[in-house]
Amino acid sequence: MKLSYQIKKDWKRNRSLYFIMIPVLIFYILFHYKPMYGAIIAFKEYSPALGVTGSPWVGFANFTRFFKSVYFIRLIRNTILLSVYNLILGFPAPIILALLLNEVRNKKFKSITQTVTYLPHFISLIVVTGMLTDFSMTTGLFNDVITMFGGKSSPLLQDPKLYRSIYVLSSIWQEVGWGSIIYLSALAGVDSQLYEAAQIDGAGKWKQLIHVTLPAIAPVIVIMFILKMGSLMNMGYEKTILLYNPSTYETADIISSYIYRIGLLEQDWSYSTAIGLFNSAINFGLLLFTNRMSKRYSETSLW
Amino acid sequence: MKVKKSKGERAFSVFNYIFLTLLIVLCLYPVWYVAVASFSNSNLLTQHTGLLIKPVGWSIDAYKKVFKNPMIGRGYLNTLFILVVGVFLDLIMTSLGAYFLSRKRVMFKRPIMLLIVFTMFFSGGMIPFYLNLKDLRMTNSLWGLIVPFMISTYNLIILRTSFESIPESLIEAAQIDGASHITILMQIVIPLSKAILAVMVLYYGVSIWNSWFWASAIIRTREMYPLQVILREILMQNDVSSMTAGSSALDTEAIGMTIKYATIIVATVPILCVYPFLQKHFTKGTMIGAVKE
């Protein structure tokens, strides 16, 4: 009785508010939850004629097909390696840049550096990868620089060994400045009295960094790290699709780009959905895991 | 209080300035190279090795060819349409959601919030999303690039956080005067949130400007391609044939290069010109986003 009374009271009070939410709810149902429901074709043999509900169930057949596939190990390895490489180099880079910028006393120089390092973020991915492709050709800019230093020119993007480095370094180039903003704002919020107190205690710059600055911005770092971990297996397919080619598949092909080829290009709907679902589940698990670890050890968490 | 810098600190300071200057060069040079190369003579450019500081042999042939290509103008128009209509709808939908989620004492707010946040971390994946668009008959239409992407949950949360900071007393006073929620949203909340809405315009605008994947997946008619998809054809798939008609094979390859560079400039300069003025707003948005809920 009590609950229904509460609902009635809430409805009376907030009815018009719920009406406002209707279009938003429809949006989420139609473009988020309906596809989530559609993902059950991972357990079916989907045929467009029969539709999602009408297609016959096949249990875990699509999953076992993936686990037994020759590509399975390669895809998992490539995804993890690219991610980890990206995390190890790409995660600290904006933090370091923010710390360095924070030490710049010349305001004008600081703002110029910020504006210029943000710039690559505004160049579209298509253009960035287009530039990379051109620069990597035997006559391109990268090879010109390599030969300048006495190296031999080669088609860099055809080399599976170089692929990950090109991918990760260009991502850092594009995002390091932009990524530093959030840390800069955290740094701006550090109480200057803490530094003064540290100085009186005889702490040099390095000691101040370790004992004042880093602890102060640690919560932001942790949150960003959790978010990054949550997308560890979720490496963006867009850049991969633009940058790889059959000669670099060996190191370049990741789960999401494989889903794209098998699903959208070869139209093996159920199989590609199963791979996607497997990937999503692992991702979600990683996020929960990191969040839990973080809650336990640093008392910072997403929720 | 001013403390005299130690030797080590001075050395660090010098190193810091040198390092950051190098970083500036590293960020700017590739863009400069493309600009300079686009104004170069195509034959001289292919022979040239080493860094380019200024154009080798001045020529604007590439630009003439780029501007003669009807697809680029077409792409710009399509992108502009998606941009204007899309950003408008995005703002409306995001404001509605953010307003609801910023209200207090609403019974079903928490479960709804959970339902929304969950989509940030789990999704059905690329293929079910695509099949769903097909199911809704949204393929091969510019609306299919607008409607399914109206709300970015990340932006929704930023906007909600900002709406929450509007004094509750203002809204309660309006409610006592008999104002409906829509009126309160339109006449009180939105006018008070112009700054953050500007940030939203920029966030949505940039993401629409950059998007290409779903366009390439669902648009079949070439005339509907947004600019980025046209760029992809020209830059990645080396499709400069429409612009090099009438040249010999060797010339085609040479001029193909400068055409690519000129295309990059034509497609990038508008954004690069605007962004230094908007940078302040962008920065602000990131900071609001960083505030933990």
Q: Taking 60 as the threshold, does the pLDDT of residue B292 lie above it?
A: no
* Cα diameter, chain A: 84
User: What's the pLDDT tens digit per position in A200-242?
Assistant: 888 888 888 888 899 989 988 988 888 787 777 777 899 999 9
Whether pLDDT at B145 is above 90: yes
pLDDT value for A129: 94
- Name the band, by pLDDT with cuts 50, 70 and 90, for residue B244: low
Candidate from B136, B180, B264 with C-beta closest to A131: B264
pLDDT at A12 over 60: yes
Q: pTM of this prediction?
A: 0.89
Which range of residues forms the domain containing residue B32?
A: 7-68+238-290
> How close B97 gets to chain A, by Cα (Å)?
6
Return the residue matching tokens 């949360």.
B157
Q: What percent of chain B has pLDDT over 90?
A: 56
Summary mean pLDDT of chain A: 90
A46-50, A264-268, B241-245: range with lowest mean pLDDT: B241-245
Task: Round to whole Å and give the CA distance between A251 and A254.
Answer: 8
pLDDT, mean over chain B: 87
Together in a domain, B263 and B204 = no
Nearest residue of chain B to residue A115 (CA atoms):
B276
**What is the structure's pLDDT at B1?**
44
Note whether residue B232 is domain-resident: no
What average pLDDT does range A112-135 have in this prediction?
92
Residue B119 is nearest to which of A23, A32, A113, comparing CB atoms?
A32
Q: Which of A21, A26, A279, A303 to mutate to test the interface with B (most CBs of B within 10 A)?
A: A21
Query: At which residue do the structure tokens 């950003």 appear?
Result: B87
Domains contained in chain B, number: 2
Does residue B58 lie within any of the structural domains?
yes
- Which of B173, B198, B223 is the last residue before a domain boundary? B223
Any domain includes B230: no
> How many angstroms separate the CA atoms of A113 and B143, rounded?
39
Stretch among A199-203, B60-64, B137-141 having the lowest mean pLDDT: A199-203
Per-residue model confidence (pLDDT) at position A139: 81
Cβ separation B124–A283 shorter than 8 A: no
B150 and B30 in a single domain? The answer is: no
By CA distance, what is A237's nearest residue in B? B213
Strand partners, B40: B58
Q: Using only the alpha carbons of chain B, give its radius of gyration.
A: 25
* Cβ–Cβ gap A276/B127 under 8 Å: yes
* Facing residue for A36 by CB, picked from B123, B136, B279: B123
pLDDT of residue A225: 86
Instruction: With CA atoms as reference, report the closest residue to B258 among B83, B99, B62.
Output: B62
Q: Does domain A61-298 have CATH number 3.40.50.2300?
A: no
Query: B240 pLDDT exceeds 90?
Result: no
Contacts of A116 in chain B (CB under 8 A): 23-24, 27-28
Domain contains B231: no
pLDDT at B208 over 90: yes
* pLDDT attached to residue B293: 36
Name which of A128, A168, A126, A172 is nearest A252 in CA terms: A168
Share of chain A above pLDDT 70, in %: 99
Contact B244, B166 (CB under 8 A): no
> Has residue B119 been placed in a domain?
yes
* Whether the Cβ atoms of residue A125 and residue A238 lie closer than 8 Å to each other: yes
Of B200, B223, B246, the one marking the end of a domain is B223
